[in-house]
Amino acid sequence: MPCSLPRIMASPSALPGLGANAKPIGTAVLPAFRNRDIATALKIRVIEWARSNGVVTLWTASGSPPMIRINEKPGFQRTATEVRLVRRLVA
Ligand SMILES: CC(C)(COP(=O)(O)OP(=O)(O)OC[C@H]1O[C@@H](n2cnc3c(N)ncnc32)[C@H](O)[C@@H]1OP(=O)(O)O)[C@@H](O)C(=O)NCCC(=O)NCCS
């Protein structure tokens, strides 16, 4: 299989069922199969699956330009920007 289907993560308070808000995580396509709209198709499949399972809002976050494009194509909208902070613990 050239790809992994994004999984759906829902907060425990949203259970039973998936509840109103859920987050698809972990999209990946093997390098030899990239740029053929596979990840886009997977994302659309997740949206359809979530809608038919009672999810009202999907949310996601990414620093990957291709992944941001893949999310925006089927309608995800930018809401906020996160600043990531790192503290190195070794010299
Ligand atoms: C990110 C990933 C899943 C994309 O899979 P894919 O099947 O190649 O994606 P698609 O072909 O459906 O779509 C790629 C889109 O990103 C665009 N893109 C590619 N590189 C880009 C870049 N540097 N900046 C902006 N957009 C870019 C492509 O043009 C395409 O958009 P388009 O259809 O409008 O032309 C794949 O590269 C991957 O597995 N990467 C490693 C794992 C990873 O980083 N996952 C994301 C974090 S969870």
**Residue-level pLDDT, tens digit, the chain, 91 residues:** 565 555 555 443 343 455 688 888 788 899 999 999 999 999 999 999 889 988 899 988 888 999 999 999 999 999 988 898 999 999 8
CB 19 within 8 A of CB 59: no
Whole-model pTM over 0.75: yes
Domain boundaries, the chain: 3-72
Q: List the residue whose alpha carbon is closest to atom 21 of ligand 1.
A: 66
Report the separation in Å between the CA atom of 13 and the middle of ligand 1, taken as the mean of its atom positions: 32
The CATH number that domain 3-72 falls under is 3.40.630.30
For residue 7, what are the β-bridge partners? Answer: 25
Tokens 């330009």 belong to residue: 65
Ligand 1 neighbour 62 (Cβ under 6 A): yes
User: Of all atoms in ligand 1, which is nearest to the CA of residue 30?
Assistant: 39
The residues, any chain, with a CB within 8 Å of residue 25's CB and separated by 6 or more, are 6, 7, 8, 9, 60
Q: Rounded distance, CA 11 to CA 20, Å?
A: 10
Ligand 1 neighbour 10 (Cβ under 6 A): no
Q: Rounded distance, CA 57 to CA 35, Å?
A: 27
